């Protein structure tokens, strides 16, 4: 198959691209506009060959989307391109409305026009896979409740509201026009190549630099943490085996309070980076945990997310391979061993990279 992956230079998108190239025989067209969160260095050159092509295109540009679809002739589209940082959506929601809603609409129109022109056989095999978030469901009040595929939508932030809107558009294009779609909603991702503004990499890099580790409110907000490589495996399985019209929730079965996540990072750094001047082993009183700082809570902060991933396990046989403990250890080790990658992100030099544009 040839898969077009939008947002393939982002955190989750690049994990999907790496796995497709490393573990399957599929070809990949990586379509990304390379905003601040897009980083082509997240797809190392060892993955790039004759099965990979990069297209610098904005999902809001229909003429460019038409061109790419016509030339590349993908068998499926995996739509990951999105603005995704909640804090940024609160400070400036317009970019989220533009990319997540208008961009999804524009891509749907381009995909529909393309799909309608395919042969009957290719039409039957085509899929539009829309990748979304569990944040569209709002939050959970009880300690035992879980988000299922039938949970009503109740988004809290401009980010989650824009993603909820895009989900509704995708389902409407399926029901109204017959476009063959599948939708996935995932829990919080973490792992290698994560942009440093997000919680886990932000805490790792701040701790290494001896900077405060800002925790919103009391830090007791609960999230279900999903290792990004596990998520990428699930997405590829849904894109290639998922049932048209179905929704699949993808979770890591790892509910943790934010403060526990931060404490785990500190404990792993004490073990794995004892030479750091902020560690207990270096004689720093309090070690990394002394850097934890409680700050004013975020407006509209959801209290608890938790995913019931039973459907994707029953229907497609997917289960996460990493526990929270094993995934967090791999993540911290990766950041310790890949200083050049994140230093180039922090300095902005990564934005100069334009590797693999056409191979």
Copy the structure tokens of residue 214. 């800002």
Among the listed residues 55, 58, 134, 255, the single catalytic one is 134
What distance in Å separates the CA atoms of residue 118 and residue 128, rounded to the nearest whole number? Answer: 14
Confidence of residue 85 (pLDDT cuts 50, 70, 90): confident
All residues at 6 or more sequence positions from 148 whose CB lies less than 8 Å from its CB, including other chains: 249, 308, 311
Residue 87 confidence class, pLDDT cut points 50, 70, 90: confident
Query: Which helix (H) or strand (E) covers residue 78, if one does?
Result: strand 76-79
Candidates 357, 281, 313; CA nearest to 148 is 313
350 is catalytic: no
Cα 283 to Cα 12: distance, rounded to the nearest angstrom: 38
- Provide CB contacts within 8 A for 252, sequence distance 6+: 187, 224, 225, 226, 227, 230, 307, 320, 322, 324, 327
Contact 289, 263 (CB under 8 A): yes
Q: What burial class does residue 347 get, using C-beta atoms within 10 Å of its C-beta: 0-12 exposed, 13-18 middle, 19+ buried? A: exposed
- Find the catalytic residue in 137, 159, 190, 193: 159
Two tokens, residue 152: 């009503």
Average pLDDT, integer, range 36-56 = 95
pTM for the structure as a whole: 0.94
Residue that is written with structure tokens 């996935």 in the block:
184
For tokens 């009957």, the residue is 120
* CA 310 remoteness from chain centre: 20
Over 60: is that where the pLDDT of 359 sits?
Answer: no
CATH number of 2-194+225-255+303-323: 3.40.50.720
Q: Which two tokens stand for residue 277?
A: 């001047």
- Active site includes 134? yes
SS3 343: helix
**pLDDT (tens digit per residue) in 169-212:** 999 999 999 999 999 999 999 999 999 989 999 999 999 999 99
Note the maximum CA span of the chain: 69
**Among the options 135, 224, 255, 302, which is catalytic?**
135
DSSP-based three-state secondary structure for 96: helix
pLDDT computed for residue 302 by the predictor: 82
Q: 265-305: per-residue pLDDT in tens?
A: 999 999 999 999 999 999 999 999 999 999 998 888 888 88
- The arithmetic mean of pLDDT across residues 110-127, rounded, is 98
pLDDT at 353: 60
| Active site annotation includes 159 | yes
**Distances, alpha carbon 170 to alpha carbons 4, 75, 101, 158, 177, in Å:** 17, 18, 10, 19, 10
Cβ-Cβ contacts under 8 Å for 235 (sequence gap 6 or more): 12, 16, 78, 129, 131, 184, 250
Mean pLDDT of the chain: 95
Between 42-56, 188-202, 264-278, 339-353, the lowest mean confidence (pLDDT) is in: 339-353
Residue 220: pLDDT over 50: yes
Cα 76 to Cα 191: distance, rounded to the nearest angstrom:
26
Res. 161 pLDDT band, cuts 50 70 90: very high
- At 56, is the pLDDT very low, low, confident or very high (cuts 50, 70, 90)? very high
Alpha helix positions (H), 117-183? 120-125, 158-177
78 beta partners: 5, 129
Distance CA 218, CA 104 (A): 36
Domain boundaries along the sequence of the chain: 2-194+225-255+303-323
């Amino acid at each position: 198959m040839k898969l077009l992956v939008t947002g393939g230079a982002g955190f989750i998108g690049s994990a999907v691209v790496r796995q497709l190239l490393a573990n399957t025989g599929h070809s990949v067209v990586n379509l990304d506009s390379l905003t601040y969160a897009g980083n082509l260095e997240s797809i190392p050159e060892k993955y790039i060959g004759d099965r990979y092509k990069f297209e610098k295109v904005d999902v809001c540009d229909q003429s460019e989307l038409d061109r790419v679809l016509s030339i590349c002739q993908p068998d499926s589209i995996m739509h990951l391109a999105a603005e995704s940082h909640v804090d940024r959506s609160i400070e400036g929601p317009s970019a989220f409305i533009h990319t997540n809603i208008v961009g999804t609409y524009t891509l749907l129109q381009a995909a529909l026009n393309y799909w309608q022109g395919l042969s009957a056989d290719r039409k039957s095999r085509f899929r539009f896979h829309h990748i979304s978030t569990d944040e569209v469901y709002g939050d959970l009040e009880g300690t035992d409740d879980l988000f299922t595929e039938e949970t009503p939508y109740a988004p809290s932030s401009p980010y989650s509201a824009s993603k909820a809107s895009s989900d509704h558009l995708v389902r409407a294009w399926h029901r109204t026009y017959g476009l063959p779609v599948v939708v996935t909603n995932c829990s919080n991702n973490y792992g290698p190549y994560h942009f440093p503004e997000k919680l886990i990499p932000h805490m790792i890099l701040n701790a290494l630099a001896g900077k405060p580790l800002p925790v919103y409110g009391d830090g007791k907000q609960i999230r279900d943490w999903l290792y990004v490589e596990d998520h990428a495996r699930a997405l590829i399985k849904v894109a290639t085996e998922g049932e048209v019209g179905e929704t699949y929730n993808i979770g890591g079965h790892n509910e943790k309070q934010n403060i526990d996540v931060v404490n785990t990072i500190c404990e792993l750094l004490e073990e794995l980076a004892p030479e750091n001047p902020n560690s207990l082993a270096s004689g720093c009183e309090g070690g990394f945990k002394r850097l934890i700082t409680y700050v004013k809570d975020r407006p509209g902060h959801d209290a608890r997310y938790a995913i019931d991933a039973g459907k994707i396990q029953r229907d497609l046989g997917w289960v996460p391979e990493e526990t929270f403990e094993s995934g967090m250890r791999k993540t911290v080790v990766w950041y310790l061993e890949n200083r050049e990658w994140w230093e180039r992100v922090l300095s902005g030099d990564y934005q100069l990279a334009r590797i693999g544009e056409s191979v």
